[in-house]
Amino acid sequence: MYPRLPFLHFPTYGLMVALGFMLGLLLAERLARRSGIPARTISDLGVGACLAGLVGAKVALLIVEPHLVKRPWQLLFQGGVFYGGLLGAILYVLWRSRRVGLDPQAAGDIFAAPLSVGHALGRIGCFMAGCCYGRTCDLPWAVSFTNPKSVAVQNGVPPGTPLHPTQLYEVVANLVLAGLVLVLLRHRRWPGQIWWTYLAVYGGFRTAVETLRGDPRGTWLGGALSTSQVVGLAAVVVGITMLVIGGVRARRDKAPAAPPP
């Protein structure tokens, strides 16, 4: 793999994250126009959410790997924890959207597909850098890392060891999820329906793929669950709960009023 671009010596992960952000922002603006929301409003929200997400990802990384407090400069060269970034972005959108007169759940519906697309490109960057790698694997599609600068090799994985391509599993899942929420967006019945669907579906997939991960990333319950599995399970519960509540409210609002006695 290529942790850095040949000849340019630029981090591949950083490039893919930047491309993911730009492509996601363009998609968000297009979806906003279709929904009757000013594209400028969404693009401003997107830029702010990205910056808040970067901060949240780094803070979460410090929580999962507290030893980095002694080497804070390393935070500049690590992507961070996705769920921490997601939480940071959510908090920003909740705060900023109300100030510009936009329903936060409607904004979430717009950002669901762009987030999935950007996340997919970011995971390609993970794959190229050799981070977020999987456990040993004997399946035909197993991958191995040989570049001494790849994160897997630097973490002690012997070069050439066949591993689950967990990064590529997430690429495929995020692209499928992006397609799903784009289809659902055309048939949305109430604000927030698409966002909560995204949260529940991604949470379920992330919880599953974490069982195949082999990199150190924090554990809970004596090592039974990773940090992302705990958050993923919570995302599934919250997402499904909000979908049920939203569905009930939508049916109630559409129900004909009772005739006067």
Over residues 137-155, mean pLDDT: 91
pLDDT for 124 equals 93
pLDDT digits (tens, 9 = 90+) for 165-223: 999 999 999 999 999 999 999 999 999 999 999 999 999 999 999 999 988 777 777 77
Cα 182 to chain center, whole Å?
Answer: 16
- For residue 125, pLDDT over 80 is answered with yes
Q: Is residue 93 part of a domain?
A: yes
Q: Is residue 213 part of a domain?
A: no
Q: Please check whether residue 199 is in contact with residue 180, taking contact to mean a CB–CB distance below 8 angstroms.
A: no
Mean of the per-residue pLDDT values of the chain = 87
Q: Is residue 258 part of a domain?
A: no
- Give the domain extent around 43: 12-187
Answer with the residue of higher pLDDT: 59 or 101: 101
pLDDT digits (tens, 9 = 90+) for 24-48: 999 999 999 998 888 899 999 999 9
Residue 221 token pair:
């319950």
Q: Give dist(CA 77, CA 128) in Å, integer.
A: 14
DSSP state of 255: S
Q: Give dist(CA 138, CA 163) in Å, integer.
A: 8
Q: Is residue 202 part of a domain?
A: no
Over residues 58-74, mean pLDDT: 69
Q: pTM for this one?
A: 0.88
- Give the residue among 42, 58, 59, 51 at the shortest CA–CA distance from 92: 51
Q: Give dist(CA 101, CA 195) in Å, integer.
A: 18
- For residue 258, pLDDT over 60 is answered with no
- Number of domains, the chain: 1
Q: Is residue 259 part of a domain?
A: no
Q: Give dist(CA 72, CA 1) in Å, integer.
A: 26
The DSSP annotation for the chain comes to: --SB-TTT--BHHHHHHHHHHHHHHHHHHHHHHHTT--HHHHHHHHHHHHHHHHHHHHHHHHHH-GGGGG-GGGGGGS---HHHHHHHHHHHHHHHHHHTT--HHHHHHHHHHHHHHHHHHHHHHHHHHT-S-B-B--STT-B----TTSHHHHTTPPTT--B--HHHHHHHHHHHHHHHHHHHHTT--STTHHHHHHHHHHHHHHHHHGGGB-S---EETTTTEEHHHHHHHHHHHHHHHHHHHHHHHHHHHHSPPPPP-
Answer with the residue of higher pLDDT: 85 or 238: 238
Q: Is residue 208 part of a domain?
A: no
pLDDT for 217 equals 74
Q: Is residue 29 part of a domain?
A: yes
pLDDT digits (tens, 9 = 90+) for 74-101: 656 566 778 888 999 999 999 999 888 8
Q: Is the torsion defined by CA of 121, 127, 128, 130 positive or negative? A: positive
By mean pLDDT, which of 3-7, 33-37, 89-93, 105-109 is the weakest?
Answer: 3-7
pLDDT more than 70, % of the chain: 88
Residue 60 token pair:
């979460």
Q: Is residue 194 part of a domain?
A: no
- For residue 153, pLDDT over 50 is answered with yes
- For residue 260, pLDDT over 50 is answered with no
pLDDT more than 90, % of the chain: 56
